[in-house]
Amino acid sequence: MRGPHNIVRLIRTGATLERTGAMKVIMDAVEAPRAVRMAVRTLVWPFQWLGLKGDPKLPAVTRALQALGPAYIKFGQILSTRPDVVGNDLALQLRVLQDKLPPFPVDVAKAEVERELAVSVDNVFSEFSEPVAAASIAQVHKARLRDSGDFVAVKVLRPGIERAFQKDIDAFYLAASVIDTFSPSSRRLRPIDVVEHFEGVVLSELDLRLESASASEFADNTKNDDGFALPAVHWPLSGRRVMVLDWAEGINAADVEAIAAAGHDLTDLSRRVLQLFLNHALRDGYFHGDMHHGNLKIAANGDIIAFDFGIMGHLDEYTRRVYAEILFGFIRRDYKRVAEVHFEAGYVPADRDVDEFARALRAVGEPIFGMNAEKISMARLLSYLFEVTERFGMQTRTELILLQRTMVVVEGVARTFDHRMNIWDAAKPVVEDYIKDSIGPRAAAADLVKTAQVLARFGPRLPAMAEAALIKLNQDPAPAPRRSYWPAVGWTVFGAGLAGIVIAVLDLVS
């Protein structure tokens, strides 16, 4: 870290936040102590004339972040996924942060493509448009392939964006360290962890090969999903700073009037967008983490087309099962079971009272189920659930925060198509199917098979491992009674034998 640069950058940042009125909003959101507020105000106020004005038509925080540039815009976007850090109100404001910046010239984009791919743009593309979209990290051009005549989307990173982001990330680390050192009450927000999370997300977005891989994996998972399509990646024309995909032709999901005029069934689209998301999250454990209107189009045949794969969410199999059981419990209004699932998963400390937690969950669920279909909101449920679990000492889980945030966005998209959509009725068949496949007897048998396969892989090493354990125990100055380790050895041998039997049966069946 370069100290002088970071200090100057932070002074400019603080001055901009003060000048735009964003400083007070942020202090309120993080519940900063009065002493901290006074100290910050005293340090920043004399320098506010150095701050950027920004667009006065925007909300204070959005105005400040847009004025400060790409890294701050992206930081705001990522913080919008962390209501546990900035609070629900500020997270909602940051969600509408416009990710639009002035584009860089098309000639510069062409030069970046040629430098990255070592090809002549004119030899590869017969057409190459002006920018059709410009965001904080990259911009997109529409082009036509010379050899096939197909249209493609060419995504190009902004020149020098890596260096610019690294400067600001260094400054963010300095600010986080200062907060962590001088404001103990703010440590619950884990400012350094937040910056580390931001750095990890940004570094992955600054390598378009990773986004291409995300698009490819997502396409493999969803290739059999009816009514859902993804643009294919052109791997020979993609690299670290350039990504080329098929052009997604369709109507932007926000243009509901045009979609209706084209003859599409809005109620079907509303149901389908929600069910597709739940299938991706539960069935695959891999979902689009930024599934808003701007990243969705409706094709002429009615397919929902998704693009922009910079933010993807991942849930391991155990977390998926827990999430499904929680949703299923709410759908059945079985609050005791929802509470038990939270305790079984370790989300809520074991020293809390499960019955009291169940009553708190009932207070969350019953008012929502008492609403009519137009007002039933899974997003609201997840928001209330977050508040309750926080009150009972639940530790923050980043992957669940992203899931909650994306669920809110997807519900918003579904409501845009049909405001009368009953979210629970749409979700119920997806969750029920997942429960049948993943939590019933069939799932238990599959788990046993997986366990046996793992044991079988270690089969050749099991005798040596058992011998090493015996030698270590015999060399121990206070060895345990013989009965304490022989059963363990016996179970190890039994496990190896069971694994061999199961694998043999599987071989016969296959």
Q: 290 an active-site residue?
A: yes
**Exposed, middle or buried by CB within 10 Å (0-12, 13-18, 19+), for 68?**
buried
CB-based burial, 115-126: b 16+ in 10 Å, e otherwise = ebbeeebeebbe
Which two three-digit tokens encode residue 144?
């036509």
Secondary structure (3-state) at 194: helix
- DSSP alpha helix (H) spans, 184-316: 191-205, 208-222, 256-261, 266-279
Task: Look up residue 176 and give its amino acid.
Answer: A
Do 78 and 95 form a contact (C-beta atoms < 8 A)? no
CA atoms of 507 and 68, how far apart (whole Å): 61
Residue 243 β-bridge partners: 155
Neighbour count for residue 359 (Cβ, 10 Å):
13
| Cα Rg of the chain (Å, integer) | 27
- Cα–Cα distance list, 490 to 314, 352, 447, 471, 504 (Å): 38, 38, 22, 16, 21
Residue 77 C-alpha from the chain's centroid: 11
CA atoms of 151 and 130, how far apart (whole Å): 14
Task: Look up residue 147 and give its amino acid.
Answer: D
Element (H, E) at 452: helix 441-457
**Residue found under tokens 């986004």:** 211
CA atoms of 154 and 230, how far apart (whole Å): 15
Which residue of the set 170, 290, 303, 418 is catalytic? Answer: 290
Do 304 and 273 form a contact (C-beta atoms < 8 A)? yes
Q: How many separate helices (H) and strands (E) can be counted in the chain?
A: 23, 10
Residue 138 β-bridge partners: 157
Q: Which of 137, 134, 138 is nearest to 103 (CA)?
A: 134
End-to-end C-alpha distance for the chain, whole angstroms: 58
**Exposed, middle or buried by CB within 10 Å (0-12, 13-18, 19+), for 280?**
buried
Task: Look up residue 485 and give its amino acid.
Answer: Y
CA atoms of 360 and 391, how far apart (whole Å): 10
- Cα–Cα distance list, 137 to 163, 243, 281, 295, 482 (Å): 12, 13, 26, 16, 64
Annotated active-site positions, please?
Answer: 290
